[in-house]
Amino acid sequence: MKNCIVAQSGGPTAAINASLAGVIKGVLDQEKYGKIYGSLNGITGILEGRFLDLTETFQDSGNLELLKVSPAMYLGSCRYKLPKLEEGMGDYQKIFAFFEKMEIGAFFYIGGNDSMDTVDKLSAYAEKIKSPVRIIGIPKTIDNDLCVTDHTPGFGSAAKYVAASLLEIYHDTVIYNLKSVTVVEIMGRDAGWLTAASVLARNGYCPAPHLIYLPESAFDTEAFLKDVEGMLGQYNNVIVAVSEGIRDKDGKYISASSGAVDNFGHSQLSGAGKTLEYLIQGRLDVKVRSIELNVLQRCSSHIASLTDLEESFCQGQHGVALAAEGNTGLMVTIQRVSDEPYQVAYGSAPVCEIANGVKEVPAEFISPEGNDVAEGILAYLRPLVQGEPKIRFEQGVPCYLPVRHLS
């Protein structure tokens, strides 16, 4: 009986451990496979022989449930990109020697674009050397920018955090009878999905965010100042959601336009939010503040989306089923069957169709002026943030499973 090994890679999300839990459960439930190993720090764990046997630990369903709701990566991460085959086969030989020694039948790699590139390369190498090891990719990224699949594990939780935060920031700013502008910078370098999700903060009383800017539309500072002024005519407290990746018509990041140098002599590369704060400060007579939603938008498991966690779990399980059926070089995908009632189906696509591509927010989801999203995006976004996981608190603080790669 063959064993399996799983690893996690890239930036953390609140759902990547739910996918790991899905893979583990998939293997435990699958008669075809024996042990489930976990490689520490992504593929580098396999290269360096650092791994754990997860089989025993997660036969305890309590551990599995706790894993599902714990932020970031239980197995640690890496940012290691395999060399191209023609550049040297050393890594490949090491990895497949490990697979042989540990009697591995399938390798599951949970990650974003770069990890799918690794899945692509490893499955091509396996084919070349006629290895029977199945290589399957399980997606994750808060950016929601992977092609082919309807949405990515981790996005729904980050979107829920962004929406809740924008609503809470609205409550915070609206209490004064003074004109103010608050610029909220949200993650997303190449695709504006997460910034677009800020629209979910709007409700019967909350018009915020009043303006939304995505990297998909060229950013014009003069048009922006006009937009803000217009909104200040209607509202006392204007909230602007802006993607960290906004660029001008020449593709130059707005975040890179600050020429500031601090007193240690370092060039201060202000982010988009800070840059727009200074712009407003200099040009409009209004109180202004910028807020960067920093790493908490990707690791705040205490306000994760239950839908996201459950789908991430299912995608992990589905990956195991794909391998057990003999497939390789695939990434698990999720297809939307309907918006209302929200229904999805799990499928797969050749990883080579996904790796290194970027799914941007389509034009029909963006307002013609490029300063808001279009109504149609709500039906797409809304189902992804539904439901709240049960988080246990210990001494008033969330209870999570510790990251294991340190041990």
Hey, which residues between 127 and 166 contact a copy of itself (CB under 8 A)? 160, 163-165
Residue 257 touching a copy of itself (CB under 8 A): yes
Q: CA nearest 151: which of 365, 401, 300?
A: 365
Q: How far is the CB of 160 from a copy of itself (least distance, A)?
A: 6
CA dist 348 and 352 (Å) reads: 12
Residue range at the interface with a copy of itself (CB under 8 A); choices 30-38, 55-63, 138-146, 172-180: 172-180
Q: Which stretch binds a copy of itself (CB under 8 A): 142-150, 212-220, 339-347, 381-389?
A: 381-389
Tokens 């909350």 correspond to 206
CB-based contact 122:294 (threshold 8 Å): no
Asked if 175 interacts with a copy of itself (CB under 8 A), we say yes
Which of 93, 335, 343, 386 is the binder for a copy of itself (CB under 8 A)? 386
Closest of 205, 278, 213 to residue 237, by C-alpha:
205
Least distance CB 132 / a copy of itself (angstroms): 31
Q: Which of 325, 375 has the CB closer to a copy of itself?
A: 375
Q: CA-to-CA distance for 13 and 19, rounded, in angstroms?
A: 11
Binding to a copy of itself by residue 76, rule CB under 8 A? yes
Residues 6+ apart with CB under 8 A from 397: none
Give the footprint of a copy of itself on residues 316-375 (CB under 8 A): none
Binders of a copy of itself among residues 6 to 25 (CB under 8 A) are 12
> Residue 267 forms beta bridges with which residues?
261
Which of 32/404 has CB closer to a copy of itself?
A: 404
Instruction: Output 41 or 371, the one with its CB closest to a copy of itself.
Output: 41
Residue among 164 and 374 whose Cβ is closer to a copy of itself: 164
389 binds a copy of itself (CB under 8 A): no
Per-residue contact string for residues 179-198; x = within reach of a copy of itself by CB under 8 A: --------------------
Query: Least distance in Å: CB of 64 to a copy of itself?
Result: 18
Nearer to a copy of itself, 31 or 222 (CB): 222
Q: Which stretch binds a copy of itself (CB under 8 A): 114-122, 125-133, 258-266, 327-335?
A: 258-266
Q: DSSP H helical segments within 244-294, as ranges?
A: 272-283
- The enclosing H or E element of 297 equals helix 296-299
Closest C-alpha among 288, 283, 187, 189 to residue 241:
187
* Interaction residues for a copy of itself, span 227-246 (CB under 8 A): 236
143 noted as active-site residue: yes
Per the structure block, which two tokens stand in for 305?
């989306």
Which own/partner contact pairs does 147-150 have at CB distance under 8 Å and 24+ positions apart? 147/353, 147/354, 147/357, 147/358, 147/359, 148/331, 148/333, 148/349, 148/353, 148/354, 149/331, 149/332, 149/333, 149/334, 149/335, 149/349, 149/354, 150/333, 150/334, 150/335, 150/336, 150/344
Place of tokens 């996981």: 389
Is 208 one of the binding residues for a copy of itself (CB under 8 A)? no
- Hey, which residues between 262 and 321 contact a copy of itself (CB under 8 A)? 262-266, 268, 270, 275, 278-279, 281-282, 289, 291-292, 294-296, 298-303, 305, 307
Give the Cα separation of 133 and 29 in Å (integer). 19
Per DSSP, the three-state class of 381 is helix
Instruction: Please tell me which residue in 91, 117, 120, 143 is annotated as part of the active site.
Output: 143
Would you state the torsion angle of the CA atoms of residues 97, 98, 104, 110, taken in this order, to the nearest 10 degrees? -120
By CB under 8 A, what part of segment 36-65 binds a copy of itself?
Answer: 41, 44
Residue 248 token pair:
């001008």
Span from 246-254, 347-355, 359-367, 386-394 in contact with a copy of itself (CB under 8 A): 386-394
Number of residues that bind a copy of itself (CB under 8 A): 79
Q: Segment near a copy of itself (CB under 8 A), from 24-32, 146-154, 167-175, 225-233?
A: 167-175
CA–CA distance, 183 with 175 (Å, rounded to integer): 17
Q: Examine residue 395 and tell whether it contacts a copy of itself (CB under 8 A).
A: yes
Q: Which is nearer to a copy of itself, 123 or 198 (CB)?
A: 198
Alpha-carbon distances, residue 300 vs 152, 197, 341 (angstroms) = 17, 16, 27
Of the candidates 38, 116, 80, the residue with the CA atom closest to the CA atom of residue 403: 38
CB of 57 to a copy of itself, least distance (A): 15
Other Cβ atoms less than 10 A from the Cβ of 375: the count is 10
**How far apart are CB 261 and a copy of itself at their closest, in Å?**
6
| Binding residue (CB under 8 A) for a copy of itself from 89, 124, 147, 206 | 206
Residues serving a catalytic function are 143
